[in-house]
Chain A
Amino acid sequence: MDITFKDVSYIYQANSPFSHKALEDLSFHIPSGTFVAVIGHTGSGKSTLIQHLNGLLTPTIGEVQIGDYFINADKKPENLKELRSRVGVVFQYPEHQLFDETVAKDIAFGPKNFGVSEQEIESRIEEIIPAVGLDKQLLERSPFDLSGGQMRRVAIAGVLAIKPEVLVLDEPTAGLDPRGQREMMDMFYRLHKERKLTTILVTHSMEDAVRYADHVIIMNKGTKYMEGTPEEVFIQRDALNKVQLDVPEVIQFINSFEERFHIKIPFKRQSVQELAIQIQQVLKGAESSE
């Protein structure tokens, strides 16, 4: 589903001494099937932004369009529930939302609410459990007996079992160990490709953004600060530093390499390994020409 924000502003507790503008004149367009990374400092409005994607918040000014659903200050779509079954949101620390007696029941909770049949739910669980890296033996355990990482996976499975078309991820790997982070992000990326999802990833990690995203939106103080492909956005080091963001390691390396050896290597979202091979070739080339 295409997602379009049109001059969206959102004010918390309007008309009170605590009134606080979280989003200001935000406009962007996300075509269906894109992997978008939303990056910004704490308090830049990222979390407010994603709550607009399934009608949890209604814009104070402006309009949000998701597929055929329009959300603005005057009207919420009547079929909010339908919208929510098509836009799955994995919130920060999603393990806090677990509540049911067993892992299986908790995963089934979402699809059940959206009226998916028992049989279908079961087959979805079969499919999702290995995908998120859990063991089937855990299905009958209480979610509260699991480790933090396992709880996170159960919670994510609970959202994926809804089979949304748009997947919104709010720092899904925060607090996991490095290997778990990598596994989880790879899993999301695989699902993104397999199910042709539109994925919106809120993250602090430039590395994740470079690795997975087709499109990057940088937020600052509730406004859109920069937007574009990772290649366009991440080479602008000064602009990024201005909002306390760093360029990804790969680009940092390319920059210092250029400064030191005066050899320019174009940034094409290569991984560290690919970059190493490239440098090797460049150096060999330099040798042979001498």
Chain B
Amino acid sequence: MNNMMIIGQYVPGNSLVHRLDPRMKITIIFLFVIFVFFANNVASYSILTVFAIITTAVTRIPFRFILKGLTPVWFLIIFTFILHLIVTKEGTVLFELLGFKLYTGALIQGFAISLRFFLLILITSLLTLTTTPIEITDAIEDMLHPLKKIKFPVHELALMMSISLRFIPTLLQETDKISKAQASRGVDFRTGPIKERLKAVVPLLVPLFVSAFKRAEELAMAMEARGYQGGEGRSKLRQLKIERIDIFVLSLFILVIAGLFLTRNY
């Protein structure tokens, strides 16, 4: 089950994308997510697709692995596509079957929206695939820094994020362990009527919560024992720095966006 999930999973590497400043990555991806919605013809979509594919290739993460990891999302993409085929009634009728008319507009629209969806998910999953959770939280803390002026607890938020990210794999492992232990005691999570299967979750959830609370308490104690007091006056081990390569990649991205705006229909 969790073998298939790659969202939020970091794949170690030393590619250009891996080495990019995380703030730069977040900015670029944020902008990309916005600009995907500006694409409206073949040329502009192609530019974005080519950008996404080249970026993926640069990470050196096997494309097949990424596609396989997106399996849960495929369902959504295909669902959107089919929904558009049925609902959209634009353009000429392509063919008619049992009273259902398929329009060319529907085909184009469905394809465009699915592609948009795919690009969004591909690019955003690249962020977590190439950036360690620590880097992401560091970047977010740094980018939210101005909000400190209005007393927004930036450091605390970043800490909460990094702790939750840190414990996702631990919790997954724990779930796997406990579900195996209970399966050995005759619990069947996979078959049987829904009611029985829901009941089977209790022996899984109770131990999971117990250990999560215990772990939280231990962590809090360990942090206090080491004198942790929050963000005030705390120095950083990893300093984020914009390098020349970051500027270069940003310029490339600006070129891509310029290309998008030159080719799109108005």
Chain A residues in contact with chain B, CB under 8 A?
Answer: 13, 15-18, 51, 54, 56, 81, 84-85, 87-89, 91, 94, 96-100, 109-110, 112-114, 144, 158-159, 162
Contacts and interface: CB of A to CB of B under 8 A. Distances in A.
Given A17-B11, A17-B61, A81 B188 contact: yes
Interface in B154-206: 174, 177-178, 180-188, 202-203, 206
Nearest to A55: B183
Contact of B186 (A94, A99, A113, A144): A113
Contacts of A97: 178, 181-182, 185, 203, 207
A6 B253 CA distance: 55
A99 B184 contact: no
B184 A113 contact: no
B211 interface: yes
Given A81-B188, A97-B207, A113-B188, 4 more contacts: A15-B65, A91-B184, A96-B178, A162-B186
A99 B180 CA distance: 14
B178 A56 contact: no
Given A16-B3, A17-B11, A109-B203, A96 B185 contact: no
Nearest to A115: B186
Interface of B is mostly: helix
B181 A113 contact: no
Nearest to B186: A113
29 contacts: A15-B64, A16-B68, A17-B61, A18-B11, A56-B180, A56-B183, A56-B184, A84-B186, A88-B184, A91-B184, A94-B181, A96-B174, A96-B177, A96-B207, A96-B211, A97-B182, A97-B203, A98-B207, A99-B203, A99-B206, A99-B207, A99-B210, A110-B185, A113-B185, A113-B186, A113-B188, A159-B185, A162-B185, A162-B186
A114 B183 CA distance: 11
B3 to A, nearest CB: 5
Contacts of B68: 15-16
B62 interface: yes
Contact of A91 (B62, B177, B187, B203): B177
Nearest to B62: A17
A159 B181 CA distance: 10
Contacts of B203: 97, 99-100, 109
A15 to B, nearest CB: 8
